[in-house]
Amino acid sequence: MHGIAGKGDVMSAEGVCFPEGFAASGMASGIKHSGKKDIALIYSETPCVAAACCTTNRAKSFSLLWSMKKIHNPIRAVLINSGNANALGGPEGWNITCRIMENLAGVMGISQENLLCASTGLIGRVLPEETILRVIPALVKGLSRDGGMDAAQSIITTDRHVKQVHFATGITGMSGNVKIGAMAKGAGMICPNMATMLAFITTDANILRGALKKALSNAVSESFNMITVDGDQSTNDFVVCLANGQARNSTIREGSPEFVEFSESLLEACCLLAKMIAGDGEGATKRMEVIVEGAWSKKDARRIAKKIAGSNLVKAAFAGSWPNWGRIAAACGSASARCDFRRIRISIGSHVVYDGAPVQYCEDDLRRTLSEKEVVFKIDLKQGNGRAVAWGCDLTEDYVRINMEKE
Amino acid sequence: MHGIAGKGDVMSAEGVCFPEGFAASGMASGIKHSGKKDIALIYSETPCVAAACCTTNRAKSFSLLWSMKKIHNPIRAVLINSGNANALGGPEGWNITCRIMENLAGVMGISQENLLCASTGLIGRVLPEETILRVIPALVKGLSRDGGMDAAQSIITTDRHVKQVHFATGITGMSGNVKIGAMAKGAGMICPNMATMLAFITTDANILRGALKKALSNAVSESFNMITVDGDQSTNDFVVCLANGQARNSTIREGSPEFVEFSESLLEACCLLAKMIAGDGEGATKRMEVIVEGAWSKKDARRIAKKIAGSNLVKAAFAGSWPNWGRIAAACGSASARCDFRRIRISIGSHVVYDGAPVQYCEDDLRRTLSEKEVVFKIDLKQGNGRAVAWGCDLTEDYVRINMEKE
């Protein structure tokens, strides 16, 4: 079993509710003036081992400050709001966060030490405490195995599409296969540094905390950290994975075959979400996948892949389906990585455009390739074994329009 | 005497021809299919001490490779073309560059060891050798004390405005005050790393090579390296300063009062050009000056200033005159520099919008400020003495339109 939102088995619970023992809810509280859903809750029947990656921005949301304090505890629930970043609202922001979480703990009958929270939206506004407190009872009451979609809808902002995945791994436990479910939000402020958006991953795996941390950190580094929409980094980026052990598989430890299997599944979930985010970049009409091979080192490959996927000039030319490969080469050369342009080979789709020197190509063919919904740019440096893949999108006039004023 | 192109004394030679002993010419050769001017020559009657800063991009123009080989020699002339970057055109590019320079040397009666060249334009096309060879005799014959404007017009690409400055320093020599003249091109591919465009600076100062290098390197670091239009770095960025000594001042040595005076004048020339370039960014309608004060170190201040000036989200909000200061704060926090948001103060023009916590402001006033042609964003970190200034522009739909396809 393996599904992307809307494509999975309609009878089964979706997204974060797919693994055993998880429920979710989502609704409109009034934080967003538009009346759209803006608050979500994820709940596990039993305590979870948790791991998280969080923004490296020095201006961190109070929600993240809260969560990073509690992440080492057994976790039971995560409260998420959109429409307000809960960042830089002044010193009162921290107190408000604490009061909201205290209230949630009371309503749920769970210690606040076992609760996480996350926020996304406009920076610099105080979280509307009363608005949130008012809906907490309904949010808790609404928790359901069918609440995955409601929750996924509640955490998005300028996203055009809801982002959910769920699938079963090959690891079997006493309660069936270990499952993974997830939801994410992305769109703007997506950048090539650290967890660059919100993602909530649930699993019923029985796994040691250290192993979960290692698997998540690897997965994030190859997925969310390799997407770029505009090079801007949010104050609120957060990826969290909760494992409640209800699959009753034998405990997954680092280095075991099950660990390898679990890590690969987690990476797959993260890559699917990462690609959805890149393709849903603000104003984007199509997605690029940048594959760098033959680099001196993996670090060099990552730098080059992200530099190309993040170049405004490459992205704007891509928007116009203009085969200006010189911009790809220039971005490659400016990535602070070793490269020798007498050897390098650059391809757009299946067309080689440069191979130590410019290669003749049919411009019409190339324009057709560039106008597809997903285009692969491949750079072979012919220097070593370093390989990396990054995802990005085109830069359109709509990106600018959206970001000139929005809420 | 102190003038910007068109504002100086109309009787005097302009730009690079302003200092004693320099002449220039510029014309249309046919490299640009539009028929616009695309080739220029700067000439000094006597050999010049030269200093240069050049792109750190690994894909360097053959023109730059040539110039960096010759820069230590006494320099007599610089050939500049626009419309073709002379980069990544394949191995023949180097041979073509050598043949063109050999031809120029023959026509001028100067050794090719004393000639520099620079290029700007589309990457990945071989320089049209015959086209250039055909116009070299006319270009040399056209050299004139009045040729500054022609040369300045010939080096621009998507620039809307010609960029020239000239002024007299306070240093006196036997032939009058030491003078400085310069021309530049910018617009797109302007980024916060190394000399980020073409600039040609002439002076009749009598100065030691080491002193000139030091003065230029300082000036570039505080001017051209602090502007950003799109974060992309060209294969062709080049700043060169030629000093022919014709002012007959006593030799300027590092550390002398004259060196300080000369360095300040050179910095002023570079800052004037840098601001012109930032304000003339592709699609730009207005300019931002980002002043960072009170940073832990100068390096921190530079990082923050450039991160803010280069943020697509800050630039797009600026385009819409939207006082979304949260984006300024988020860019500041993501600059890999020390900052404490409990102390920081952010101002837009004369309005303080954040001072450890959000500050109430009149939105209409702020929108009016943001709609001016030049807006100052000031960040006081209250941590130390680090200070830096960066310049940038707004990000408009026109930027995208221009870069979707152009030539």
pLDDT digits over B99-110, tens only?
A: 999 999 999 999
Give the β-pairing of B176-185 and B198-203: antiparallel
Instruction: Quote the pLDDT of residue B1.
Output: 37
State pLDDT tens for residues A345-402: 999 999 999 999 899 999 999 999 999 999 999 999 999 999 999 998 888 888 777 7
State the pLDDT at residue A89.
83
- Give B61 to chain A, closest Cα distance, Å: 10
Start-to-end CA distance of chain B, whole Å, equals 38
Please tell me the distance in Å from B283's CA to the nearest CA on chain A: 11
Euclidean distance between CA atoms A75 and B271, whole angstroms: 55
Low-confidence ranges of chain A (pLDDT < 70): 1-12, 187-196, 228-234, 405-407
Nearest to B230 among A56, A125, A312 (CB): A312
- CB-neighbour burial class of residue A34 (10 A; exposed 0-12, middle 13-18, buried 19+): exposed
Mapped to the 3 state alphabet, what secondary structure does B254-286 carry? CCCHHHHHHHHHHHHHHHHHHHHHHHCCCCCCC
Average pLDDT over residues B82-111: 93
Evaluate if residue B188 carries a pLDDT over 70: no
Residue A49, H or E segment: strand A39-54
pLDDT band at B229 (very low <50, low <70, confident <90, very high): low
Q: Report residue A54 as tokens.
A: 């969080």
Closest CA to B310 of B293, B287, B331: B331
User: Cα separations (Å) of B218 from B50, B212, B268, B303?
Assistant: 15, 10, 11, 17
Predicted local distance difference test score (pLDDT) of residue A336: 80
Q: Examine the pLDDT at B141 and tell me if it is beyond 50.
A: yes
What pLDDT is recorded for position B195?
30
Closest CA to B232 of B277, B190, B194, B284: B190
Is residue B190 over pLDDT 60? Answer: no
Which amino acid belongs to residue B330?
A
Task: Give the pLDDT confidence score for residue A12 in this predicted structure.
Answer: 61
Sheet with B351-355: strands ordered across = B351-355, B345-348, B374-380, B287-295, B386-393
Chain A interface includes B236 (CB < 8 A): no
Q: Which residues of B touch A233 (CB under 8 A)?
A: 330, 333-334
**Coil, helix or strand for A83?**
coil
* Residue of A275, A334, A339, A113 lying closest to B191 (CA atoms): A334
Question: Does any CB of chain B come closer than 8 Å to the CB of residue A343?
Answer: no
Single out the catalytic residue among B196, B202, B228, B396: B196
Q: What's the distance, Cα to Cα, between the start and end of chain A in Å?
A: 38
CA distance B146 to B165: 14
- Assigned token pair, A187: 């769109």
Q: Give the pLDDT score at A405.
A: 66
> What pLDDT does A195 receive?
30
**Cα B274 to Cα A195, A313, B390, distances in angstroms:** 35, 21, 10
pLDDT band at B313; cut points 50, 70, 90? confident
B358 in Cβ contact with B390 (< 8 Å): no
Q: Could you give the domains of chain B?
A: 2-279 (3.60.70.12), 287-404 (3.10.20.340)
Answer whether 0.90 is exceeded by the pTM. Answer: no
Of A119-128, A163-172, B177-186, B382-391, the one with minimum mean pLDDT is: A119-128
Q: What is the mean pLDDT of chain B?
A: 89
Quick one: which H or E segment has residue B308? helix B298-310
For residue A194, what pLDDT is reported? 29
What is residue A335's predicted lDDT score, i.e. its pLDDT?
84
Each residue's pLDDT tens digit, B209-225: 999 999 999 999 899 88
Q: Please tell me the distance from the alpha carbon of residue A246 to that of residue A45, in angstroms, as a whole number.
A: 9
**Which CB contacts under 8 angstroms, 24+ apart, belong to A261-264?**
A261/A169, A261/A170, A261/A171, A262/A169, A262/A171, A262/A178, A262/A203, A262/A205, A262/A207, A262/A211, A262/A215, A263/A214, A263/A215, A263/A218, A263/A219
**Contact (CB<8Å) B358/A88:** yes
Above 0.95 for ipTM, yes or no?
Answer: no
Let me know: does B402 contact B393? Beta carbons within 8 Å. Answer: no
Residue B392 vs residue B102, higher pLDDT: B102
